[in-house]
Chain A
Amino acid sequence: MKVSVLVVAGLLLFPFSNVTAQEVNDAQIASIVVTANQVDIDAGKLAKSRSTNDEVKAFAELMITDHTSVNKSATDLVAKLKVSPQNNPTSQSLQAGGEKNLAHLRTLKGAAFDKAYVDHEVEYHQQVIDALDKILIPGATNGELKALLIKVRPAFVAHLEHAKRLQSSTGKEG
């Protein structure tokens, strides 16, 4: 019982931890990419409406814009390749992790909200970059899908850097 709770908790925190590049196919990668972007768009929407810090709000707006653009490119490509995104344990746990994050954020206000949102953004972008490097890019078999993932990576790196800067500036707030 205790162990299974831990496993579930671990999966929510590190949705990519038990997957390898060999185990994912392109349809699953498509689903993971779309879910990962959507989760961050949803968090961005909440932060945009709830944060009172201008820098945090601007960052949240950027996350909505950039991840929407990335998702548009991903869904366009998936349609062109005639791949149907296939639900899988990684996208499910990403989804569950995103919902858990939103539920937690909804309980917070002010500086505590900003801190929790930004901390999660740092963690989230780091996890997605790791997943791109270890699972998604090496796992993609279609050349165009692989190229898209490689093209997307620098945006996640820039977002991570941006979130880390916010982390040190909002950390001083309270």
Chain B
Amino acid sequence: MRTATLVAALSVVLGSMSAVTGDQPKSKTHTVTIEGMRFQPEVLTVAPGDTVVWVNKDLVPHTATSKAGGFDSKDIQADKSWRYTIKTTGDFAYICTFHPTMKAMLRVKE
């Protein structure tokens, strides 16, 4: 009885572990730094399911906005950040809606 319970418990633990370490690639978190009125890196390549964090190190508010990619951070205040998990593949040009000189690209591919 006791052994059976242990075996059952162990198989649950092992089962959940194999689900985590299975064939699925682990999703990553990438950082885009906004500094000196630029997105750095200007071109970032990620995989679907990855998360991108935009960190605003400038003194003024910015946005990371892509009409094609369907994402819009809205205001990211100075010293704040915004994270987004992107699911669809493609090349998504994005801008800061406040500062039209700020342009960058997010490439999402398998």
Interface residues of A (CB under 8 A from B): 62, 65-66, 69-70, 73, 151-152, 154-155, 157-158, 161-162, 165
Tell yes or no: B36 within 8 A of A by CB.
Answer: yes
Q: Which residues of A contact B102 (CB under 8 A)?
A: 158
A121 to chain B, nearest CB (A): 14
* 8 tightest A-B CB contacts, nearest first: A154-B36, A154-B37, A66-B60, A158-B37, A69-B60, A73-B59, A158-B101, A161-B101
Instruction: Please report which residues of chain B, range 34-77, place their CB below 8 angstroms from some CB of chain A when the two chains form the complex.
Output: 36-38, 58-61
Checking A62, A73, A154, A165 against B98 with a beta-carbon cut-off of 8 angstroms, the contacting residue is: A62
Cβ-closest chain B residue relative to A68: B60
Cβ-closest chain B residue relative to A62: B98
Contacts A/B (CB < 8 Å), 16 sampled: A62-B98, A65-B60, A66-B60, A66-B98, A69-B59, A69-B61, A73-B78, A151-B36, A151-B58, A151-B59, A154-B36, A154-B38, A155-B58, A155-B59, A161-B101, A162-B101
Number of A-B contacts (CB under 8 A): 38
Tell yes or no: B99 within 8 A of A by CB.
Answer: yes
User: Is A158 touching B99 in the complex (CB atoms < 8 A)?
Assistant: yes
CA distance A50 to B39 in the complex (A): 33
Q: Which residues of B contact A66 (CB under 8 A)?
A: 60-61, 98
* CB-CB under 8 A for A65 and B61, given A158-B99, A161-B101, A162-B99: yes
Tell yes or no: B25 within 8 A of A by CB.
Answer: no
B97 to chain A, nearest CB (A): 9
Checking B38, B98, B100 against A65 with a beta-carbon cut-off of 8 angstroms, the contacting residue is: B98
Q: Which residues of A contact B36 (CB under 8 A)?
A: 151, 154
Cβ-closest chain A residue relative to B61: A65
Instruction: Please report which residues of chain B, range 2-60, place their CB below 8 angstroms from some CB of chain A when the two chains form the complex.
Output: 36-38, 58-60
Q: Which residues of A contact B100 (CB under 8 A)?
A: 162, 165
